[in-house]
Chains A and B, each alone.
Chain A
């Protein structure tokens, strides 16, 4: 029982923490983000297993985490509201040929990120070729080029 409660507490804590941290927190996996992920898992490991190194405990913890993930994905499937609460909603940061400063500030995205996405996804070289730019739920910036650039 306590294995399940521990794993569930850690799962919910991480869900809350990364929602509060914002979409962009671990969206770009830089070398440091990768290391940070490893450190976070190391720090939480003890809290989840609480000195019980048995295989039973490990299986219970993993089953709980995966089970919760399935449950939440089912809930998201059924309710758009829950999906928004858990994953957030995409944010338009560039439309009609202009940058939208407030959403950009909130999502911590700058012009360079939009240009970067344009280059990476469509080979664009300037903002003039961009029609829309969106910060997706997973924190990635996507770009819709103007029709003539397609």
Chain B
């Protein structure tokens, strides 16, 4: 009895389900959507190719011909670093100090402290500094010049902690300085 008294369902079931038909096949296929999907997929594939090309060139960090960068200052002072590095990945930079900047056998270089705060040093610089001190906004490293004839190379390995475009400054105390920019990818 209860069944007979029940009101009919207000909306026919087929309208609730809204099946579309291909021939007699009930299927919620959507050709217009599939056309768009196909285009989006092909664009996605193109983006993947672009990403791989950029990676090969080194523009997404890591090794690559366009990633190595040399910033030069006066008197032959220069800094070799990567344009793009990755958060948590390994990075290095190399300072080249000409012998003229170390007349008494030692040279003191300084690095912008704010820049150093955005990274973790992997190990002590090579060669090991004679002393390290903080002076205002900069960290000073004093090195003994190993060869009075040839430029000294100071290498630092670090892991970037911050993300984004990072600017830093580096120089020789009482001598030339330079500024550099590095992009840190997430």
- A91 with B23: CB separation less than 8 A: no
Give the bracket for the number of chain B residues in contact with chain A: 10 to 19
Which chain B residues numbered 34 to 69 have a C-beta less than 8 Å away from chain A? 34, 37-38, 40-41, 44-45, 47-48
B88 touches A89 (CB 8 A): no
State whether the Cβ of B173 lies closer than 8 Å to any Cβ in chain A: no
Mark the stretch among B25-33, B95-103, B144-152 that contacts chain A.
Answer: B25-33
Task: Determine chain B's interface SS by DSSP, over half rule.
Answer: helix
A92 to B27, CA, bound (A): 9
B residues near A103, Cβ cutoff 8 Å: 34
Complex A-B, nearest 7 residue pairs according to Cβ-Cβ distance, in ascending order: A20-B44, A92-B22, A132-B25, A89-B30, A106-B38, A95-B23, A20-B41
Ordered by A's residue number, 24 sampled pairs between the chains whose C-beta atoms are within 8 Å are A16-B44, A20-B40, A20-B47, A20-B48, A21-B41, A21-B44, A50-B88, A80-B28, A84-B30, A88-B37, A89-B29, A89-B34, A89-B37, A90-B29, A92-B22, A92-B27, A95-B23, A95-B25, A96-B23, A106-B34, A106-B38, A132-B22, A132-B25, A144-B25
* A interface residue numbers (CB < 8 A to B): 16, 19-22, 50-51, 80, 84, 88-92, 95-96, 103, 106, 131-132, 134, 144
